[in-house]
């Protein structure tokens, strides 16, 4: 998976959680199971940005 595909995956997770198709716990588990070592970094979609998105999202879900 490349970083742009991962960006889409994270956005889809957020959509599923927002619409009640996934629980907060399921969403957190899916985010924590991302294998960052296997992500190909594409230009214009840095992995560090995605890691910030995931960390912020997990923090929001845990509130």
Partner 1 sequence: MNFGASRLGFWFLNSPFSLTWNTSQTGIEPSCGIGGWDISNQGLLIRYIVQDSTNCGGCNPNVQTGTASATITTGLNSYYFYYELRGIAEYQNANYELMDLYIAKTGIPIVTKLVSASGKEEGLGCVSGEAEQTVFVPPPYTLDSNSTYTFSLNFTTNDPLYHVGCYYECALRFVRI
Binding site for partner 1 (CB under 8 A): 4, 7-8, 11-12, 14-15, 18-19, 44-45, 49-50, 52-53, 56-57
Decide if 28 contacts 36 (C-beta within 8 A). no
Cα separation of 41 and 48, whole Å? 10
Quote the least distance from Cβ 39 to partner 1, whole Å.
15
Quote the least distance from Cβ 47 to partner 1, whole Å.
11
Quote the least distance from Cβ 52 to partner 1, whole Å.
7
Cα separation of 10 and 51, whole Å? 10
């Amino acid at each position: 998976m490349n970083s742009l595909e991962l960006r889409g995956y994270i956005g889809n997770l957020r959509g599923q959680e927002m619409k009640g198709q996934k629980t907060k716990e399921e969403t957190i588990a899916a985010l924590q199971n991302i294998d960052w070592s296997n992500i190909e970094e594409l230009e214009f979609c840095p992995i560090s940005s995605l890691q910030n998105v995931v960390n912020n999202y997990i923090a929001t879900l845990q509130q």
